[in-house]
Structure 1
Amino acid sequence: MLSGVDNLWFDQASGSLLVAEDGGDMEVVMLRPDNTAVSVIRLPGQDGSEVTGPCFSPDGQRLYFSSQRAAVGALGLPLGVTYEVTGPFDELLARQG
């Protein structure tokens, strides 16, 4: 976990830091204020890529991130892709109301 930290996003409402890896386990990991690390999502089978731009929607119900070289297109070239994952993520974010 967290062998190639690259992209970061800070959730001000919870004080948590969302971290994306380059290589390694190809994970998005949440670092919480209580010093715990939680694997949010892992992208297997995307060797040679990197996870970029992780963030949550303002209401914390959708997670967005991209993979630079996720799939191979019609010309045999790797294509990037952006993902939207629907929550709820309330427990993960542990936001204070």
Structure 2
Amino acid sequence: MKIVTKPDPQTEIELQAAAFRRLVDHLKTRTDVQNIDLMNMAGFCRNCLSNWYLDAAGERGLDVTKDESREAVYGMPYEEWKAKYQSEASDEQKKAFEVAKPNH
């Protein structure tokens, strides 16, 4: 029988970092999933992740720019990602966003 124990603090940080990297890698492959759909369904999107990355860097005194944090999440410059993969939001998506927006 395997005994499950809570990881030590450093291991917990490493597990969280690995999960974050896996989420970001997954989102990089799911270019068909639009940010507005993520926002409407999950309450966050790639831009949120990049902002959280930027906040974490700032809290540690690191001079990371918004463009750099977005590239860390998108895997390319944000404007390039938008041009390649972002489509115009439908009226239905925009309406859902207006309903969900107060939760963001």
Structure label with greater radius of gyration: 2
**For the superposition of Structure 1 and Structure 2, which TM-score range results when normalised by the shorter chain?**
under 0.3
Q: Higher RCO, 1 or 2 (CA under 8 Å, sep at least 6)? A: 2
Normalised by the size of structure 1, how large is the TM-score?
Answer: 0.22
Normalised by the size of structure 2, how large is the TM-score?
Answer: 0.21
- Of Structure 1 and Structure 2, the greater strand share is in 1
